[in-house]
Structures are given as C-alpha cells and as structure tokens.
Amino acid sequence: MLARFAKWIFHAAFTLLTQLEVKNLENIPSIGPYILAPNHLSRADPPLLFIYFGGKNVTGWVAEKYRRNLFFGLLVRLGNPIFIRRGEVDRQAIDAAVKALRSGKIFGLAPEGTRSRVGSLIRGKTGVAFLADASRVPILPTAITGTDSLFRDLLRLRRPRITLTFGELFHLPPLDPEDRNAGLRKNTDEVMCRIAAMLPESYWGVYADHPRLQELLMTNS
C-alpha cells in the first residue's frame, strides 16, 4: 500500500511540476526477469522510474550509506533494495542480485554507476554486463533527459521538460572465457550506445564518437 501511495505522489508531482513526455511504454515487458538500464542524471531519476517500476517484483543496488539515512533510507526501501558496499567487491550483494534475476525479478541498475555531474553520459561501468552474463537475462535500455536541470528550473519557477524513453529489450552476447574483461567492456559499451542512441546529441558525452553509436544511429534513421 505504501508503494502504491508513493507511486501516486511521484506521478502527481511530475505531472504538476514538469512537462513529462514518456515514449515507447509498449516496450516495457509485463514481467521479468530483465535488467532496467537507464542513464543517471539526478536524484529525481529513481522517483521517476518508480512510477513505472515500483513494486515487490523490482529491486536494485543501493549504496550501503543510505541504509541508516532517516530520509533517503525510507525512500529507497520502497524499492526493495539490495544494499551494496561501494568501492569494493561486495560478493554478497552481487550474489543477491543474480539470485533476484534468476527468480524472475526486474533489476534496476544505471550502467554509469553514479550520477553524471556533467549533464551527459559518462563511461559505463561493467556491472550491467556482468549481471546480464551471470543471469542470462535481457536488458531494457532507458534514456532520461531534463532531470539534470529539474531542481534549478523549479527554483526559477519554470516547468522543466523531461523525457523518458524506453528502448527495445535485447540480449548481450556471451562473454569469451579467454578474455572476459574485453567482453565486459564491449558489452558495456553496447548498452551505453543503445542508451545514447535515444538521447539528443548534447547528452552523448564520452560516447559521442563511438563507432557503435554511429552504427545504431544509421540503423534507426
């Protein structure tokens, strides 16, 4: 009941305070397992995604520091989080994520691993590629624009324009056991380029000149 109420509050807030446009809702699978992979621009991104994915069948990693935070701790618990210790290999959190996916859940994970401070894509980390390989589940690439300036615009009494675009579900190829690191990087770049292909050029960031992005743009044109 609390999750449903939070969904209603978040939806009302985005509807009243922003100009929100949602594209390709039909691409969201009705059930898991899959990995929800959005770019990450702002603290407003999780509440925005919670409108469409909040529920007991969804989970994701949340930094351990938020476990005892009085405000954010309460909010993140609405998303059934798996707390993870950043800056180290938290095997328990990794195993819990793989177990959740194998049990049919949706796992939300921003490939960049943190909020971009530059308003565009930063280099993706290999966590999404690793989980996809370990659990053999597909990925739902998701692109967000406008949340990077949301709070600044609201302070200026402007309704920011926000877009949320869902790509097509896809599978990454299996990793080559002879060179897993190279495979993880290539698969991570594939996820990031698919996100970039749904974003305006100003958001491409470090992937602006990536050959795979250019291929995707040519295919989609």
The reported pLDDT for the residue numbered 89 is 81
The reported pLDDT for the residue numbered 141 is 98
CATH of the domain at 155: 3.40.1130
Listed as own residue / partner, the contacts of 11-20 with beta carbons closer than 8 Å and 24 or more positions apart are: 11/51, 13/47, 14/47, 14/48, 14/51, 14/162, 17/154, 17/159, 18/146, 18/150, 18/159, 18/160, 18/161, 18/162, 19/159, 19/160, 19/161, 19/162, 20/162, 20/163, 20/164
Domain, as residue range, for 125: 2-220
Domain total of the chain? 1
How many angstroms separate the CA atoms of 161 and 201, rounded? 16
The reported pLDDT for the residue numbered 74 is 66
Closest CA to 162 of 3, 41, 37: 41
- What is the full per-residue pLDDT of the chain (221 aa) written as tens digits? 777 888 999 999 999 999 999 999 999 998 999 999 999 999 999 999 999 998 889 999 988 877 776 666 667 777 788 888 887 888 999 999 999 999 999 999 999 999 999 999 999 999 999 999 999 999 999 999 999 999 999 999 999 999 999 999 999 999 999 999 999 999 999 999 999 999 999 999 999 999 999 999 998 87
The reported pLDDT for the residue numbered 86 is 81
The reported pLDDT for the residue numbered 2 is 75
